[in-house]
Amino acid sequence: MIIHFFEIISIFLLILLFGLSYIGYGKFFNNLIFKGASIVSYGQLGLLGIFFLIVLSYFTSFFISHNSLHNVLILIIGLFLFFFGKKKIDYKNLKLLFLIIIFTFLFFIISKNHDDFPYYHLPFALSLSENKVSFGMGLLNYGYRHHSALLFLNSLKFLPWLKYFLFNLPNYLILIFVNYILLDNLIKNLKKKNIIFLLSLIFLTIINIKFTRLSEYGTDIAGQIILLVIIINLINILIADKKIENLYFNIFLLLIVFSFKVYFLIYFLLIPFVFYQLKLNPLKYKNFNLNAVICYLSFIVLFIIHNFINTGCVIYPVEISCIGDKFFWSLASQEIIRNDIWLESWAKAGASPNYKVENLNEYIKGLNWVTNWYKNYFVGKVSDFLFIVILVNLIIFFSFNKKLNLKNDLVKVRKLLIFISSLALLIWFFKHPSLRYGGYLPITIFLTSLFLYFYSIKNTRVNINKITNFFIILIVIIFNTKNILRLEFEFNRNDQYKFDNFPFYTVIDKKYESFSFDNVTYMYTTNGYCWATPTPCSNTPRKIKIINNYIFFER
């Protein structure tokens, strides 16, 4: 028990230190891009730090592995930037950050990770921790083809003693930073009682009632909750005439979520929409931030290069962006087309690990899939989430209607929300109608925008401090109650994911075989999922070529 106690304390301290390190990089990057004047919230700085660390991870992986020495150095530099940066430490901000970690800490203690974690999340991040990049990694594992910058962030958490047991920390830090921003919005807008207060409360409630399991996050949920913050930020710009730097900041956030999953690309339409509403020309000298644009372009170039190195595609699985059979290490054109059909069939409930319809090509055509999708996916999954969003909106509506000062802000806000959510819902429904593939966000925004039509815009002097505090306390209770019940279940489970390694998640040891080239081991194979098998790991051995000291796997 004493050992467990010290391990838990160590994990808590490391979470806090990594959070401060991310914020430290955010401070540095903010000074570099915005001269330190625009972004001050620790939550916003934390997300800005994520952008910087993705770029750093992308770049260093070309030359060295993200081993423990590399990662400890990155952690220490971030802490130095936090404690000794130009701006003094804001102890109010620090206190709020500390409280959020305390009240959400149970979220991080799990025995079972996401279903894809042993399949490719852990092996790919571990490969980055043990090796520099290799060409054609998409040939080793289907999962390696799906680029996500989250896995690069995970690889920066490989540490002495803990090894890979903090690989899911970036998802938790994103939850912390998003909660921080939403709570900060509530505090700053409590007296104003405006639309920012209302939407922050709605989104805070939905996030902390629905997304309470770290094992559900994978590489999909974090981007969707960041997008909720982006929506609020852009609304704040529209109604408060914020500086253009805030628009540039939100483009950084959009690039983050796009690097997590490419299907978030549609949300970049928010930026020209807001520019149009504000009658701003981004190309005018006074509006143009050259440093930010250079960072955007650098990020996109690095993103494309890593996609290309893995698969031979600029964006996988968009076949038109792929070189196909032209290089010996790239994915074949037919393989890309087959995978694209499989992924769409999976999203439309036509395929699963243990089931698939007879003719996938025919199934995904037109609306052939809708009946099966409705029966096997909508009922029980989409319907449950619809119920949660409607219930939260109903409770908040009856609790706060006629107590807020919404004025005429609702008109601009509804335009933005209806525009983006309707477009995103259409694309989501016809292409990848699975909640994890971007469905949570447009459903939340669309239903919330409908409720906004019923709110009164009359001024009121009613004090809402007590009822707001009650909601926050209730959210904390629900969040922790769900996690306590989950932990109780995980302690009592008798399958392979039972809590044999508390407080760390389960990692199953696998038997494996190694393969060498010129007396140097270059890959390992095992049956089933690779888990933490030495890397690069696959189910099937591949031949390689070595060019300029880089490994190229052969098709």
**Terminus-to-terminus CA distance in the chain, angstroms?**
51
CA 21/CA 43 separation, integer angstroms: 12
What proportion of the chain, given as a percentage, has pLDDT over 70? Answer: 98
* Burial tier of 375 (Cβ tally within 10 Å: 0-12, 13-18, 19+): exposed
pLDDT for residue 212: 96
SS3 of residue 132 by DSSP = coil
By mean pLDDT, which of 134-138, 280-284, 310-314, 368-372 is the weakest? Answer: 280-284
pLDDT band at 241 (very low <50, low <70, confident <90, very high): low
Residue 367 in domain: no
* Dist. CA 528–CA 105, nearest whole Å: 32
Tally of CB atoms within 10 A around 545 = 14
* Domain membership of residue 22 as a residue range: 2-188+289-306
Top-confidence residue, 111 or 40: 111
Question: Average pLDDT in the 398-402 region?
Answer: 92
Per the listing, tokens 């906004």 go with: 452
What's the pLDDT score for residue 2? 65
Task: Please give the share of the chain, as a percent, with pLDDT higher than 90.
Answer: 77
In whole angstroms, what is the distance from residue 56 CA to residue 261 CA?
19
Q: Is residue 67 pLDDT above 90, yes or no?
A: yes
pLDDT at residue 179, as a whole number: 98
Q: Give dist(CA 201, CA 183) in Å, integer.
A: 8
pLDDT confidence of residue 286:
80
Q: What is the 3-state secondary structure (H, E, C) of 347-391?
A: HCCCEECCEECCCHHHHCCCCCCHHHHHHHHHHHHHHHHHHHHHH
Q: Kindly state whether residue 508 falls inside one of the protein's structural domains.
A: no
Read off the pLDDT of each residue in 343-364 and give the average, rounded to a whole number. 88
The average pLDDT across 457-476 equals 89
Q: DSSP alpha helices (H): ranges in 35-90? A: 42-60, 68-84
Token reading at 430: 């016809």
Mean of the per-residue pLDDT values for the chain?
A: 92
For residue 171, is it within any domain?
A: yes
Mean pLDDT to the nearest integer, 328-338: 93
Which letter does DSSP use for residue 439 in this model? I
Is residue 39 scored above 80 in pLDDT? no
Examine residue 365 and state whether it is found in any structural domain, yes or no. Answer: no
DSSP state of 438: I
pLDDT band at 288 (very low <50, low <70, confident <90, very high): confident
- Domain membership flag for residue 31: yes
Give me the pLDDT at residue 159, please.
95
Q: Give the residue-averaged pLDDT of 273-297.
A: 86
For residue 121, give the nearest of 82, 166, 154, 95 by alpha carbon: 154
Q: Is the pLDDT of residue 409 over 80?
A: no
Phi/psi for 355 (5° steps) reads -160, 145
Question: Looking at residue 478, what is its pLDDT?
Answer: 97
Q: Which of 161-175, 176-190, 343-357, 400-414 has the lowest mean pLDDT?
A: 400-414
Task: Quickly state the pLDDT bin for 37 (edges 50, 70, 90).
Answer: low
pLDDT of residue 317: 84
Whether residue 242 has pLDDT greater than 70:
no
Omega within 30 of 0 (cis) for the link into 536: yes
What would the DSSP string read from start to end of 256-279? HHHHH-GGGGGGGGHHHHHHHHHT
Q: Could you give the strand order of the β-sheet that contains 520-525, starting from the edge strand earlier in sequence? A: 513-517, 520-525, 537-538
Q: What is the pLDDT of residue 408?
A: 67
- Tens of pLDDT along 41-53? 899 999 999 999 9
Total count of domains within the chain: 1
Examine residue 179 and state whether it is found in any structural domain, yes or no: yes
Mean pLDDT of the region 426-447: 94
* Spatial separation of the C-alpha atoms in residues 352 and 336, rounded to whole Å: 19
Amino acid in position 480: N
Tell me which long-range contacts 326-334 makes (C-beta under 8 A, separation of at least 24): 328/545, 328/552, 328/554, 328/555, 329/135, 329/136, 329/139, 329/545, 329/552, 329/553, 329/554, 329/555, 330/136, 330/555, 331/138, 331/139, 331/145, 331/555, 332/555
Inter-residue contact 21 to 78 (CB < 8 Å): yes
User: What tokens does 136 get?
Assistant: 């054609």
Q: Crossing angle, helix 465-492 and helix 169-188, to 10 degrees?
A: 160
8 A C-beta contact, residue 151 and residue 125: yes
DSSP bridge partners of 163: 159
Q: How far is CA 284 from CA 248, 280, 297, 375, 379, in A?
A: 14, 9, 19, 53, 50
Q: Which residues contact residue 176 at a Cβ distance below 8 angstroms, ignoring those fewer than 6 apart?
A: 19, 43, 46, 97, 100, 101, 104
Q: What pLDDT is recorded for position 407?
A: 77
| pLDDT exceeds 90 at position 76 | yes
Q: Is the pLDDT of residue 374 over 90?
A: yes
- Please write the tens of the pLDDT for every residue from 511-550: 999 999 988 899 999 999 999 999 999 999 999 999 999 9
**Residue 204: both structure tokens together:** 């805070």
Q: What pLDDT band is residue 1 in, cutting at 50, 70 and 90?
A: low
- Per-residue pLDDT tens digits for 158-196: 999 899 999 999 999 999 999 999 999 999 999 989 999
Segment 68-96 shows an average pLDDT of 91
In-domain check, residue 296: yes
Asked if the model's pLDDT at residue 283 lies above 90, the reply is no
Confidence of residue 383 (pLDDT cuts 50, 70, 90): very high
Q: What is 276-328 written as a DSSP string?
A: HHHT--TTSGGG--HHHHHHHHHHHHHHHHHHHHHHSBSSTT-GGGB-GGGST
| Predicted local distance difference test score (pLDDT) of residue 458 | 74
DSSP classification of residue 143: G
The confidence score (pLDDT) of residue 355 equals 79
Least trusted range by pLDDT, from 352-356, 427-431, 536-540 = 352-356
3-state secondary structure of 547: strand
Is residue 113 a part of any domain in this protein?
yes
**What pLDDT was estimated at residue 91?**
87
Hey, what are 528's tokens? 């089933």
User: Rounded to whole angstroms, how far apart are CA atoms 123 and 143?
Assistant: 10
- Give bridge partners of residue 94 from the DSSP assignment: none
